[in-house]
Amino acid sequence: MELQDCPPTGRRWVWDVWVVFAVGALTALTIVGRLADASHPRWVGLDVTIGIVSTALMVLVPRRPVHAAVALAVLAVFSPAATPASTATTMGIALRLPQRMAIIVTAIQIGAHLIQGAWRPIGNLPFLWFAVLDVAVHVAMLGWGQWIQARHQLLANLLERAQRAEAEQGRRVAEARTAERTQMAREMHDVLAHRLSLLATYAGALEYRPDSSPEKLAQAAGVIRTGVHQALEELREVISVLRDTEIEEGPGGRPQPTFGDVEGLVAESRAAGTTVAYDEQVDEATSLPPATGRTAYRVVQEGLTNARKHAAGHPVTVTVTGRPGTGLRIALTNPGSNGVPLAPGSGTGLVGLTERVQLAGGTLDHQREPGGGFRLEASLPWPA
281 and 355, same domain (yes or no):
yes
pLDDT at position 274, please? 82
Whether residue 100 lies inside any domain: the answer is: yes
Judgement on whether residues 230 and 345 belong to the same structural domain of the protein: yes
Question: What pLDDT digit, counting tens, does each position of 317-375 carry?
Answer: 999 999 998 999 999 998 876 555 555 555 567 777 888 888 888 999 988 877 778 88
Q: Are residues 186 and 297 in the same domain?
A: yes
**Assigned domain for 34 exists:** yes
Whether 219 and 309 share a structural domain = yes
Q: What does the pLDDT look like over 18-29, one tens digit per residue? A: 777 777 777 777
Q: Please check whether residues 83 and 190 belong to one and the same domain.
A: no
Place 381 in a pLDDT band, splitting at 50, 70 and 90.
very high
Domain count, the chain: 2
Within a domain: residue 14? yes
Whether 168 maps to a domain, the answer reads no
Closest CA to 330 of 259, 227, 246, 252: 259
Decide if 134 is inside a domain.
Answer: no
Tally of CB atoms within 10 A around 97: 22
The 10s digit of each residue's pLDDT in 103-127 is 888 888 888 888 888 877 777 778 8
**Same domain membership, residue 119 and residue 189:** no
Q: Is-contact 266 318, C-beta < 8 A?
A: yes
Question: Could you tell me whether strands 374-380 and 316-323 are parallel, antiparallel, or unpaired per DSSP bridges?
Answer: unpaired
Whichever domain contains 240, its CATH number is 3.30.565.10
Give the integer Cα–Cα distance in Å for 188 and 231: 10
Do the domain assignments include residue 210? yes
For residue 271, give the H/E element and its range: helix 262-271
- The whole-angstrom separation of Cα 64 and Cα 58 is 10
Same domain, 293 and 370: yes
Buried b (16+ CB within 10 A) or exposed e, 39-70: ebeebeeebeebbebbbebbebbbeebbebbb
* Domain termination residue (choose one: 57, 91, 125): 125
Domain span at 367: 174-380
Q: How many CA atoms lie within 13 A of 37 on its CB side?
A: 16
Among the residue ranges 64-73, 99-108, 221-230, the one predicted with the least confidence is: 221-230
CB atoms within 10 A of CB 102: 23
Confidence of residue 72 (pLDDT cuts 50, 70, 90): confident
Instruction: Decide if 50 is inside a domain.
Output: yes
Q: Name the average pLDDT for the chain.
A: 77
Q: Is residue 2 part of a domain?
A: no
Residues 179 and 118 in one domain: no
Q: Looking at the whole model, is its pTM more than 0.95?
A: no
